Structure 1
Amino acid sequence: MADEYSGGSIEADHLCVLVHGLWGNPLHMASVAKSLRAQHPREKVYILVAKRNSGSFTYDGIELGGERVCLEIEEELEAIKSRGGNIKKISIVGYSLGGLVARYAIGLLFARGVLDSLECMNFTAFASPFLGVRSPLRGWGNSVWNVLGARSLCMSGRQLFGIDEFRDTGKPLLAVLADPKSIFMSGLVKFQRRTLYANVTNDRSAVYYTTAIAKTDPYTDMSKVNVKYVKGFEDVILDPVSPVQPQPREPKEREALRATVKRWFNRIPFVLALIVFVPIGVVAFFINSAIQTVRSSRRVKLHEKGLAGINPEGYRVNLWINEIREAVEDAYENLNSSQRQEYLASESSSDSGDGADTGSDSGEEIIALERKQSVVGQPTLALAPYQFEAVKALDSLGWRKYPVWIHKVRHSHAAIILRIEKDDYSEGQTVLNHWAQTEFLL
């Protein structure tokens, strides 16, 4: 139980907040809390495991989730103060969707002046989809999966797939979160260390490009690269400076045969999904989605009316700093992991229509520039214009990025934080040890 390792004594001056992901609950962060507590006693670090967004409440969107977490942090700071404590430092850790919810909460904390009296230490994300979860696809594939998938996860799905328009900005919420002039970026830049851990393979929920804030993916075929690990954390944590080197190329005929076999092998999950999941699972999946959408809409309406325990007006601050200062989850993941990433053609080989839909002249210019910069050995993924802009803006803040290779299980998204304590997920403990021992600034 996460509560066993959460909390702290009144001597602790450092508050660390843990935020779980989609479909999650506080128990998912138990191993994170346990690993942090093993390194830092209750007299040093006070641990808060966020609780208000448990279960289907994560369907309600990043904005509402961020407001809930912000309220929890403010309440906890007041409660600690009332008991004679004095929190001087704050760190925030997000897993999966929790990383985005945490970033929204950070923006609110910044706008409300909470961070003014605190030293912002660590912001850490484990497998968080900073660029959303839309597959880098072109043409009809983009329409079928990225549009249909977005509508199966209520408001959170629309935001994760970037098809929403956030308030009156005319932009997806993910774009607003990464806008250099927003409160969210101004809050994030205050943290002394920004660290992320990204699965290089087998993450069925959030693939490498989005969790590593990258427009290329050098890990599409691990059999073609030699891997270098961080000393002391071998076989799991890759060297962030020089993680992989290409192996000598085999003869073209053999390489072509391998590629053909692998291509057909990779299609097996999708074919099985069509044969098994479509006739049976789709009905149950979308019935559940419809039920959750209705329930989520009711919660959002109650929230907007101030009848859900939070006064939303207090958290609807101006966004721009220059103006202010398990069944449903598996079904979704199986289809999501069946999508094959596509790339922008290089300028020399490109004609028209090989990128994602841009919707504007500025979007066309962004795609054209990215295509021009795409190289043969490291092709650029077919991201949307707002995603390319987010990569540029977020990377400007500076990150410590750690690629993670989970070998034991084909569900690395859950294993990266040892979401369930079982042997198949044990490599996640190596990730958590690396974070708690070498990355967490006290």
Structure 2
Amino acid sequence: MDYTGISREAQHLCILVHGLWGNPVHLRTVADTLRKKHPEENLHILVAKRNSGSFTYDGIERGGERVCQEIEEEIKKLAKAGQKIKRLSFVGYSLGGLVARYAVGLLDSKGLFNKIEPINFTTFATPHLGVRTPLRGWHNHIWNVLGARTLSASGRQLFTIDKFRDTGKPLLEILADPESIFIKALAKFQRRTLYANIINDRSAVYYTTGISRTDPYTDPSNVKITYIKGYSNVIVDPTVPVAFSDSEETESTFYSRFLRSSQTTLGRLPFLFAVCILIPIGVCAFLINSAVQSLRSNRRIKLYEQGLTGIQPSYYRVPVLITGMREAVEDVYENLNSAQSHEYLVAGTEDDAAHEEPPSPGLARPASWKSVEIPQDMTSIEKTTTNETWQHDVPTLALAPYQFRMIQALDDVGWRKFPVHIHKARHSHAAIIMRSEKPSLDEGKIVLAHWLDEEFII
């Protein structure tokens, strides 16, 4: 699969980065659609290849360093061929969006953005806030603990139980630190756009892919969703995403349903039933494979850190703070992950939750948490809405204090956020970019059409 082209005229380079367990083939439709819209005379495309398959277990920073090396080599190769790159864009899918956020911080810290102008930064279904399920009770942390330990370094980072270098904080929190090289680099792009599935994303749910402290789409039957005209009721209108017929009734429905499920054993039955009865063989295979892949990943990490894999880590280890069985395994992981149901803060207790003490050791929340005030201003979608009442009808998710800080920092940078409503596929994580050539996933072409028609700056 080669979409790069041979023209020496293109001065704009667009890098595509795949997700966990992924490979360049997953981005075939993205690359093909991008090429049809922009011929090789206008755009050079690089589909990152060196962080494929089980290599995605090795951690976001190592993936980012591999992608950086690939980009630098590509720019040098093009320069030797007489093609000078003046503009740069990134597209990250799922975990690839986090890898791309890490990579741009490294590139900027090395001075690349002083010579090449950053234009577009786009993510599709990227878990910007991690994949920790918003749960509060100790009995509800089983998946947050188990899941974090099944994907080696990447799993610990996605579930935010890692401590990145000498910061004592999770890598994802550092990625969103206002004083980090990563936020500084992200802010330099002319446009930052994200697309987030509102339902049926078994890998990364709306609150994290949409960078939001609420999720009004938990029960779509309770809301009236508004769409952008011309995109087949797939792209939700971010200015007025939902409307409620009776705010008091809806709020009561939200709270009564989810507080009941969070406070009773019955609320956990889907997860327990899936683990104990429906997929025991799959779970065993998943855990065995995870153990094997984690061991292999640990070995690769040791070789990588010793500079024995063709890349010198020290070359990219700059100060990060400015002031200081793939398909089967993936299917099991997604089934377990999607069996969780979110919990919400009781109305009026947001400040208490923001200042709560860290959980006991071993739970999937870092001990480095600090008190934080929950931001009162809304996310980018909520800021621009013409219906100022809708967000007050939705309870605040039981996020961690550091996640509220991340939301604030990322929103301060500014994003154009587009919720996506995939109707036909029960696996919207794959459909949002049409990860494979299946008719059930073809609504992803509508998402890509909106991105290229309305958002991508050439």
Q: Tell me how far apart the structure 2 counterparts of residues 288 and 82 of structure 1 sit (CA, whole Å).
A: 43
Judging changes above 3 Å, is the alpha-carbon distance between structure 1 residues 273 and 147 closer, same or farther for their aligned structure 2 residues? closer
User: What CA deviation, in whole Å up to 9, does each residue of 1:43-69 have, x standing for no partner?
Assistant: 000000000001000000000000000
Aligned to 1:271: 273
The answer (yes or no) to whether the contact 1:121–1:193 under 8 Å persists in 2 is yes
Judging changes above 3 Å, is the alpha-carbon distance between structure 1 residues 267 and 234 closer, same or farther for their aligned structure 2 residues? farther
Q: Tell me how far apart the structure 2 counterparts of residues 106 and 141 of structure 1 sit (CA, whole Å).
A: 39
Deviation at 1:317, TM superposition (A): 0.5
Aligned to 2:7: 9
Aligned to 1:187: 185
Q: Tell me how far apart the structure 1 counterparts of residues 221 and 19 of structure 2 sit (CA, whole Å).
A: 31
* 1:74 correspondence with 2:72: yes
The answer (yes or no) to whether the contact 1:124–1:196 under 8 Å persists in 2 is yes
Judging changes above 3 Å, is the alpha-carbon distance between structure 1 residues 352 and 313 closer, same or farther for their aligned structure 2 residues? closer
C-alpha RMSD over aligned residues = 2.8
Aligned to 1:84: 82
User: What CA deviation, in whole Å up to 9, does each residue of 1:263-294 have, x standing for no partner?
Assistant: 7899546523420223x223211111111011
Q: Tell me how far apart the structure 2 counterparts of residues 368 and 208 of structure 1 sit (CA, whole Å).
A: 19
The answer (yes or no) to whether the contact 2:95–2:126 under 8 Å persists in 1 is yes
User: Which residue of 88, 91, 94 maps to 1:93?
Assistant: 91
Aligned to 2:370: 363
Q: Tell me how far apart the structure 2 counterparts of residues 18 and 33 of structure 1 sit (CA, whole Å).
A: 8
Q: Tell me how far apart the structure 2 counterparts of residues 352 and 435 of structure 1 sit (CA, whole Å).
A: 37
What SS does structure 2 have at the residue aligned with 1:33?
Answer: helix
Judging changes above 3 Å, is the alpha-carbon distance between structure 1 residues 215 and 305 closer, same or farther for their aligned structure 2 residues? same
Aligned to 2:384: none
TM-score (norm 2): 0.88
Aligned to 1:139: 137
* 1:20 correspondence with 2:18: yes
Q: Tell me how far apart the structure 2 counterparts of residues 44 and 227 of structure 1 sit (CA, whole Å).
A: 37
The answer (yes or no) to whether the contact 2:369–2:402 under 8 Å persists in 1 is no
* 1:428 correspondence with 2:426: no
Q: Tell me how far apart the structure 2 counterparts of residues 251 and 380 of structure 1 sit (CA, whole Å).
A: 17
Aligned to 1:292: 293
Aligned to 2:50: 52
User: Which residue of 151, 155, 158 maps to 2:156?
Assistant: 158
Deviation at 1:438, TM superposition (A): 1.4
* 1:215 correspondence with 2:213: yes
Q: Tell me how far apart the structure 2 counterparts of residues 255 and 347 of structure 1 sit (CA, whole Å).
A: 17
The answer (yes or no) to whether the contact 2:158–2:172 under 8 Å persists in 1 is yes
Judging changes above 3 Å, is the alpha-carbon distance between structure 1 residues 251 and 396 closer, same or farther for their aligned structure 2 residues? closer
Deviation at 1:99, TM superposition (A): 0.1
Deviation at 1:97, TM superposition (A): 0.1
Q: Tell me how far apart the structure 2 counterparts of residues 166 and 426 of structure 1 sit (CA, whole Å).
A: 39
Judging changes above 3 Å, is the alpha-carbon distance between structure 1 residues 274 and 43 closer, same or farther for their aligned structure 2 residues? same
Aligned to 2:118: 120
Residues 233-244 of structure 1: matches in 2 within 5 Å?
233-244=231-242
User: What CA deviation, in whole Å up to 9, does each residue of 1:34-89 have, x standing for no partner?
Assistant: 11111110000000000000100000000000000000000000000010101100
Q: Tell me how far apart the structure 2 counterparts of residues 104 and 361 of structure 1 sit (CA, whole Å).
A: 21
Judging changes above 3 Å, is the alpha-carbon distance between structure 1 residues 352 and 154 closer, same or farther for their aligned structure 2 residues? closer
Judging changes above 3 Å, is the alpha-carbon distance between structure 1 residues 51 and 231 closer, same or farther for their aligned structure 2 residues? same
The answer (yes or no) to whether the contact 2:248–2:393 under 8 Å persists in 1 is no
Aligned to 2:334: 333
Deviation at 1:139, TM superposition (A): 1.6
Q: Tell me how far apart the structure 1 counterparts of residues 55 and 90 of structure 2 sit (CA, whole Å).
A: 20
The answer (yes or no) to whether the contact 2:356–2:371 under 8 Å persists in 1 is no
User: What CA deviation, in whole Å up to 9, does each residue of 1:216-258 have, x standing for no partner?
Assistant: 1111111111121111113100101111111358989x979x9
The answer (yes or no) to whether the contact 2:271–2:340 under 8 Å persists in 1 is no
What SS does structure 1 have at the residue aligned with 2:129?
Answer: coil
What SS does structure 1 have at the residue aligned with 2:10?
Answer: coil
The answer (yes or no) to whether the contact 1:356–1:383 under 8 Å persists in 2 is no
The answer (yes or no) to whether the contact 1:139–1:356 under 8 Å persists in 2 is no
The answer (yes or no) to whether the contact 2:345–2:353 under 8 Å persists in 1 is no
Q: Tell me how far apart the structure 2 counterparts of residues 57 and 365 of structure 1 sit (CA, whole Å).
A: 35
User: Which residue of 121, 126, 129 maps to 2:127?
Assistant: 129
Q: Tell me how far apart the structure 2 counterparts of residues 353 and 107 of structure 1 sit (CA, whole Å).
A: 29
**5+ residue gaps in structure 1?**
none
Judging changes above 3 Å, is the alpha-carbon distance between structure 1 residues 389 and 307 closer, same or farther for their aligned structure 2 residues? same
Aligned to 1:406: 422
Judging changes above 3 Å, is the alpha-carbon distance between structure 1 residues 251 and 20 closer, same or farther for their aligned structure 2 residues? closer
Judging changes above 3 Å, is the alpha-carbon distance between structure 1 residues 62 and 142 closer, same or farther for their aligned structure 2 residues? farther
Judging changes above 3 Å, is the alpha-carbon distance between structure 1 residues 348 and 136 closer, same or farther for their aligned structure 2 residues? closer
Give the residue type in structure 2 aligned to 1:331: V
**More deviation in 107-116 or 347-356?**
347-356
Q: Tell me how far apart the structure 1 counterparts of residues 110 and 36 of structure 2 sit (CA, whole Å).
A: 33
Judging changes above 3 Å, is the alpha-carbon distance between structure 1 residues 332 and 211 closer, same or farther for their aligned structure 2 residues? same
Aligned to 2:381: none
Aligned to 1:34: 32
TM-score (norm 1): 0.91
The answer (yes or no) to whether the contact 1:7–1:48 under 8 Å persists in 2 is no
Aligned to 1:441: 457
Deviation at 1:348, TM superposition (A): 6.2
Q: Tell me how far apart the structure 2 counterparts of residues 36 and 368 of structure 1 sit (CA, whole Å).
A: 37
